[in-house]
Structure 1
Amino acid sequence: MDKLQADIYEWGESLADFHLPRWDELPELDLYMDQVITLVDRYLSPVIRIDKHTLLTSSMVNNYVKKGMIPPPEKKRYTRRHVAFLIAITLLKQVLTIPEIKNGILFQGKAVGIRNAYNLFCEEQETAVQHVCLQAMGQLEHQEPQKIAVEYLAVKAATVSFANKLFAENVIEIESQYLEKGESHD
């Protein structure tokens, strides 16, 4: 394995255990805006490069409230439900428009309930990230095509899109470091 392949392998290995908190793992206590932003940043910084993409700001949160994507805070405090919405929105906005995200969240919430929709999203996102990690490590196993229920098609497609974007960005970043150093990967 050459150095370029080794660096891509190392990146894949670093994310192989990526985990998004499930509903029951999110804080039960209500949080203030700065605490919510810090928490979402901590959960998502392994997969969203802060130097390339703004994760979450207070003005973004306020806009999501104004657009009806998340409920307004109660007495300036945010609940587990807010944190779940903000994790999903922050990831999804990497590959979808805000109106698409809003419609998707509304549909999934009505189809299976907010808690189940969020947990399903987390599972699908982790699976998609693990898939690209295996690809990066050259260990991609062949999977038989699975029938996906129609109400889960958008979640599956969005999470796979995010994972593939993550993979492409990181491979390009690693390759560009080689170009800057004038190194060849042979």
Structure 2
Amino acid sequence: MNLENDYKINEDILKFKIPRWEDLPQIDLYMDQLVTFIENELSLFPIGNTDNLITPSMVNNYVKLNLIPRPEKKKYDRTHIAYLITIIILKEVFTIQQIKDGILTQTFLYGEKKAYNLFCDEQEKSLKYIVDFINLDETKTSIELEKNVIPITMATLTFASKVMSRELISSQKHSIENQEI
């Protein structure tokens, strides 16, 4: 069963690419440039409410919460942009503390550049997986898909993914704290 028409699955979801580390500005940006850049890059991304994806007060709050590093002379670099893009996407399903733990864990394991690019790759693969899951022919899957049940199925997959991610982040954090990694 292909539900593309029923649910208006936009092909842009599959075409959208989160900018990789190498694609982020090489020059430092002031706050207004930072906000404009991120809004332009994520405006087509399937994030809940695209009004005010990021505001200067959000950025300032993330700095106060030590979620992102302090800017240097009021300028923001690639690290800030990568953190902010990650936060904007993940805050749809995680608490700020869970996001902070996840970012700290992954940057410890892989470094900022590799962790960010890995996040981008995995997010795009996950979106493709979900779209493929929705469009699977019911003769090719063991999961019985019913048009009206798909929203519930997606919600439960989101919850299951969130629970598993939280447990894995907690386990990795524990391993790092006990220097088992």
RMSD (Å) for aligned C-alpha atoms: 2.6
Q: Indicate if the aligned counterparts of 2:29 and 2:76 stay in contact, CA closer than 8 A.
A: yes
Name 2:58's counterpart in structure 1. 60
Deviation at 1:38, TM superposition (A): 1.5
Aligned mates of 1:7, 1:128 — CA distance in 2: 21
SS in 2 for 1:11: coil
CA distance in 2, matches of 1:113, 1:13: 32
User: How many residue pairs get matched?
Assistant: 143
Cα distance per residue 1:17-62 (max 9 Å; x no partner):
12011111111011111111112112222211435x6411111100
What does the per-residue CA deviation read over 1:152-183, in whole Å, with 9 as the maximum and x for residues that have no partner? xxxxx45x98xxxxxxxxxxxxxxxxxxxxxx
Name the counterpart of 1:32: 30
The Cα shift of 1:64 comes to 0.6
Residue in structure 1 matching 2:87, options 70, 86, 89: 89
Matched, 1:127 2:138: no
- Structure 2 unpaired stretches of 5+: 142-160, 166-181
Matches within 5 A, 1:90-169: 90-138=88-136, 157=161
Instruction: Output the CA distance in 2 between the equivalents of 1:13 and 1:136.
Output: 13
Map 1:40-59; keep pairs closer than 5 Å.
40-46=38-44, 47-50=46-49, 54-59=52-57
**Letter matched to residue 6 of structure 1:** N
**Counterpart contact for 1:12–1:137, Cα < 8 Å:** no
Percent identical? 45
Aligned residue in 2 for 1:152: none
* Kept after mapping to 1: 8 A contact 2:48/2:92: no
Instruction: Provide the C-alpha distance between the structure 2 equivalents of 1:64 and 1:101, rounded to a whole number of angstroms.
Output: 11
1:100 counterpart letter in structure 2: Q
CA contact (8 A) 1:55 1:90 kept: yes
* Residues in 2 aligned to 1:98 and 1:7: alpha-carbon distance in whole angstroms: 34
Instruction: Please tell me the residue identity of whatever aligns with 2:120.
Output: C
Secondary structure in structure 1 of the residue aligned to 2:70: coil
The verdict on how the C-alpha distance between 1:5 and 1:24 changes in structure 2, with shifts beyond 3 A counting, is closer
Aligned to 2:171: none
3-state SS in 2 of match to 1:105 = helix
Q: Distance in 1 between matches of 2:57 and 2:134?
A: 36
Q: Which amino acid aligns with 1:123?
A: D
Q: Which runs of 5+ in 1 are unaligned?
A: 143-156, 162-186
